[in-house]
Amino acid sequence: MVHQLMVSKEHFCEIIESIKDAVDSDNKLSECLTEHFRYDTVVCSHDKLYSDVIEFIEGCFANCGMVSYYCFDTDFGRYHNPDKVYFANASELYDYMVKKAQSVGSDR
């Protein structure tokens, strides 16, 4: 039996886009302050919040661990390592995770 997903594709993509926007904003602000003060400055870190949201989302998809990979290892699809799976966008990631969750559900 496949578990019903708690997150629609549209909502999933919106959440990932919100995380991306927040990470990008944090990075831009830190870069500006680093340039202004001439030393590395981390203004604020939302790493714990990002981590918690990502962990929750991954739990909806049989904990396949790919959300964190997409967000941080591929920089939201902006970086491609040819030796690893690649998702150009959150929609592709969602489709992949649905298939993974279904295969886990059918194994039971």
**6 φ/ψ angles, rounded to the nearest 5 degrees:** -90, -5
Mean pLDDT of 21-41: 83
C-alpha closest to that of 19 among 100, 93, 102, 98? 93
CB atoms inside a 10 Å sphere around CB 50: 18
Mean pLDDT of 52-75: 88
- Predicted confidence band of residue 107 (pLDDT cuts 50, 70, 90): low
Residue 26 CA to residue 94 CA, distance in Å, equals: 25
Q: Which amino acid is at 103?
A: S
Domains in the chain: boundaries: 9-106
Tokens 């990502």: give the residue.
Answer: 54
Residue 73's pLDDT is what? 92
